[in-house]
Amino acid sequence: MIITVVGIGLIGGSLALALKQNGFAQTILGVDRNVQHANRALGLQLVDQIVSLEKGVEEADVVILATPVNAIVHLAPVVLDLVERQIVIDVGSTKERIMQSVAVHEKRGRFVGTHPMAGTEYSGPEAAIGDLFEDKCTVLVDVDKSDPDALGKIQELYKSLKMNIVYHESHEHDIHTAYVSHISHISSFALALTVLEKEKNEKRIFELAGGGFSSTVRLAKSNPDTWVPIFEQNRDYVLDVLDEHINTISKFRTLLIKKDFDAFHKMIQQANQIRKIVK
């Protein structure tokens, strides 16, 4: 099988590595508008060859769109225009707008919307990791709109990566990822900014940053070129959960002001319930 990866960064590059390593693909073609990215991806042997978008689609069995989500919205219908028998998937972190972009396309059946829920705070071809996806969850959306053979092949692809497949409607996916993933990023960005603002002495942050701070601000290193389009597309759901988050932090402030440490204790106990869910 020939797989073409469009956008060879953290996610696209990791898919390229893993699908070649596990034998699902014999050949990986790479497409990247950024020439430096493309050359580095080739140098790192993430892809066998760099090709144009047109050639990449023509020669592929499966085309994977792994650019930032704003680019996917433009690319998805353009790529479907070029498709005969090929299957096209995207791996974006939002789904509703992307699925709308192909909703009435005559080749809609060849498209499968997916979101493999894995990543790190790093980006670019160098960030690619062969086992990034193992034992993680991937979401497939609006699967009744995809041709059965296309869907079947993509299920095989994700199973070859040892991923657990779950099925959502696209808007439902966006709500839940706003709750579970996108809000974590804003919380982490804000924490980093707060500490950088209050603690002007960077050496002191470095000294005092134990494992706790490091893990809580880890996501604050994430690339704005990836994340701003996600927040743009998922704005309404993110705003909703962000309001709840600000209210909750404000409750902690109110209890500190009132010195109501019994209620503070109870809130921490409630927060501890996350132990049941996240190991």
90 close to 4: Cβ distance less than 8 angstroms:
no
- Name the 3-class secondary structure at 107: coil
The reply to whether 145 sits near a second copy by the rule CB under 8 A is no
Binding residues among 212-251 for a second copy as defined by CB under 8 A: 212-224, 227-228, 231-232, 235, 238-246, 248-250
Q: Is 37 exposed, middle or buried (0-12, 13-18, 19+ CB in 10 A)?
A: buried
Closer Cβ to a second copy, 32 or 174, answer by number: 174
Residues 105 to 134: which contact a second copy by CB under 8 A?
117-121
**How far apart, in whole angstroms, are the C-alpha atoms of residue 259 and residue 270?**
19
* Residue 196 in the binding site for a second copy (CB under 8 A): yes
**Cα 27–chain centre separation:** 24
Which has the closest alpha carbon to 4: 39, 40, 30? 30
Q: Of 137, 142, 149, 155, which lies in the binding site for a second copy, with binding defined by CB under 8 A?
A: 137
Binding residues for a second copy restricted to 199-218, rule: CB under 8 A: 199, 202, 204-218
Return the residue of 79, 139, 161, 163 that touches a second copy, per CB under 8 A.
139
What residues have CB less than 8 Å from 117, skipping those under 6 apart? 136, 137, 138, 139, 177, 181
β 111-117/137-141 pair status: antiparallel
What span, in angstroms and rounded, lies between the C-alpha atoms of 191 and 57?
42
Taking the complex as a whole, the smallest distance from the CB of residue 30 to a second copy amounts, in Å, to 25
> Whose Cβ is closer to a second copy: residue 23's or residue 212's?
212
Nearer to a second copy among residue 103 and residue 271 (C-beta): 271
Q: Does 258 bind a second copy (CB under 8 A)?
A: no
Q: Where are the alpha helices (DSSP H) in 83-201?
A: 96-102, 148-160, 170-177, 183-198
Size of the site for a second copy (CB under 8 A): 92
Residue among 190, 241, 260, 232 nearest 69 (CA): 232
Residue 135, CB half-sphere, CA atoms under 13 Å: how many? 0
Nearest-approach distance from CB 112 to a second copy, in angstroms: 18
- In whole angstroms, the minimum distance from the beta carbon of 258 to a second copy comes to 11
Give me the least distance between CB of 64 and a second copy, in Å please. 19
**Distances 265 to 245, 259, 275 between C-alpha atoms, Å:** 18, 11, 16
- Nearest distance from residue 247's CB to a second copy, in Å? 8
Applying the rule CB under 8 A, the residues between 150 and 169 that interact with a second copy are: 164, 166
Residues 25-64 vs a second copy: string with x where CB under 8 A?
Answer: ----------------------------------------
Residue closer to a second copy, measured from CB, 78 or 246: 246
Near a second copy in 63-102, by CB under 8 A: none
Per rule CB under 8 A, is residue 23 in the interface with a second copy? no
